[in-house]
Amino acid sequence: MQRRVTGLTAAVAALSMTALLAGCGGDSGDSGDVTLKLVAADYGDSSTNSSKKYWAALTKKFEAENPNIKVDVSVYSWTDVDRKVKEMVKDGNAPDLAQIGAYADYAAQDKLYSADDLLSIPTQADFLAPLSKAGEVNRVQYGMPFAASTRLLFYNEKLFKSAGIKPPQSWSELQSAAQKLKSRGVKIPFALPLGPEEAQAETMQWLLSGGGGYTDNVDSYAIDSKQNISTFEWLKDELVGKGLTGPTAPAELDRAEAFAAFTRGDVGMLNGHPTLMQMSAKKGLKYGMVPMPGINGKAQSTMGVADWMMAFKQNGNRKEIGDFLDFVYSKKNVLDFSREYDLLPVTTSASQEMAGDKKDAAKLGEFLKELPTSQLYPVGKVSWAQVSVQVKKYIGKTVGPNGNPKAILGQIESKAAAEENAQ
């Protein structure tokens, strides 16, 4: 028999229905549907290859297989996306998912699901080990890698051939090659972009090649370590001091300017990522790529970079988020994204398939080889965002005419320790 609902009973029923709808994303009506809100970064450089197209195709397939789950995707430029998510969270309107540049601050505020909460065991186990580790805060993974890249040393094949130079494998060979290029009138034998745009990346590449890094073996900041000081003293005295880095002071040279100069044929060597391949190809410049030289031979590890996917707990759609992420991280979808934007797959299965594909291997094979042993920024530290700012602001001064690597690295280390202790 159907009971008629009146008075207080009706009010309770209404409140119960409101709570149910809120738990399902607030737009499910009587159907039980859930709508997930995803905010993502745009990896395209024009409307023709915007990430909007990737997400539209992916969500269409997912929704066809999961008719009770809808996914609403908003794509923003890298200039705006992190700020947009921050504003949404501050306003109490966090998205279910965000694909942006950093996750640690949200994890520290207990706003995120862990990967254990969301992903199936096969999906989580498929992430490449360095990327999984970089996604951890206090040994719990909150950041799920979405896109990855490594760095290699690019060199101008024409300039090297005309000077009879072989690609360098050590610092001394790099310096010798730069000297020969300078003697032949090359404007910028080695481009060293330590300007504010992305100085933290160039810095980390050199720290690793010198046997150091931003942190030590127990994940504490070690910016003024003996190895790091020696690395920047060598850069100051043996590259910059000998006029091998071109007319622009490294502290004033940004990565974008260095890349553009390389594609014009003005640069002999520089550290670069896959984007530089596309830029060089468009200009018809022939280039080669080798692993970053170290003190006495190939560096033991190179720098890896990752962008992150994270899931907010606010709306409570844990199961639906997990179902969607298992789909996102399927081998086919990871490969589709990586191939579209010349980025490296974040999963073992997709990496192995790409490495075994002749076309993929010809384009990204050298980068793929470096990724499994790469080291990433200490992004699991909430303090890293501010430490990165300090590196961008001061690191270029270490190699200037009056630079003091020991003092400046010590200054950055002190501020890093203060930031870490403040968390």
Mean pLDDT of 24-49: 74
User: What is the pLDDT confidence band of residue 24, given thresholds at 50, 70 and 90?
Assistant: very low
| Residue indicated by tokens 């269409």 | 60
Q: What pLDDT digit, counting tens, does each position of 300-339 carry?
A: 889 999 999 999 999 999 999 999 999 999 999 999 999 9
- Given this model, what pLDDT does residue 310 score? 98
Three-state secondary-structure class, residue 243: coil
Strands (E), 42-130: 69-76, 97-100
- Given this model, what pLDDT does residue 23 score? 40
| Residue indicated by tokens 């797959």 | 345
Mean pLDDT of 221-243: 98
With a cut of 50, say whether residue 374 has pLDDT above it. Answer: yes
With a cut of 70, say whether residue 32 has pLDDT above it. Answer: no
Strands 287-290 and 140-141: unpaired
**Side chain identity at 347, as an amino acid letter?**
T
Residue 59, CA distances (Å) to 35, 41, 327 in order: 12, 16, 10
Name 286's Cβ contacts closer than 8 Å, sequence gap at least 6: 156, 157, 158, 280
Mean pLDDT of 231-260: 97
Mean pLDDT of 287-291: 96
Three-state secondary-structure class, residue 188: strand
With a cut of 90, say whether residue 48 has pLDDT above it. Answer: no
With a cut of 90, say whether residue 3 has pLDDT above it. Answer: no
Residue 254 burial (CB count, 10 A): 16
Written as one string, the DSSP assignment of 82-107 is HHHHHHHHHTT---SEEEES--HHHH
Three-state secondary-structure class, residue 64: helix
User: What is the pLDDT confidence band of residue 28, given thresholds at 50, 70 and 90?
Assistant: very low
Q: Could you give all domains of the chain from N- to C-terminal order, each with its CATH number?
A: 32-149+306-376 (3.40.190.10), 152-301+383-422 (3.40.190.10)
Mean pLDDT of 24-34: 52
Three-state secondary-structure class, residue 137: strand
Residue 11 burial (CB count, 10 A): 11
Mean pLDDT of 59-67: 97
- Given this model, what pLDDT does residue 25 score? 40
- The answer to whether residues 383 and 214 touch, using CB atoms and an 8 Å cutoff, is no
Residue 375, CA distances (Å) to 127, 177, 229 in order: 15, 27, 19
Alpha-carbon span 59 to 224, nearest angstrom = 47
- Given this model, what pLDDT does residue 298 score? 87
Mean pLDDT of 143-169: 97
Mean pLDDT, the chain, rounded, equals 91
Residue 238 burial (CB count, 10 A): 15
With a cut of 60, say whether residue 285 has pLDDT above it. Answer: yes
With a cut of 60, say whether residue 19 has pLDDT above it. Answer: no
Strands 267-272 and 152-156: antiparallel
- Given this model, what pLDDT does residue 284 score? 96
Alpha-carbon span 364 to 374, nearest angstrom = 15
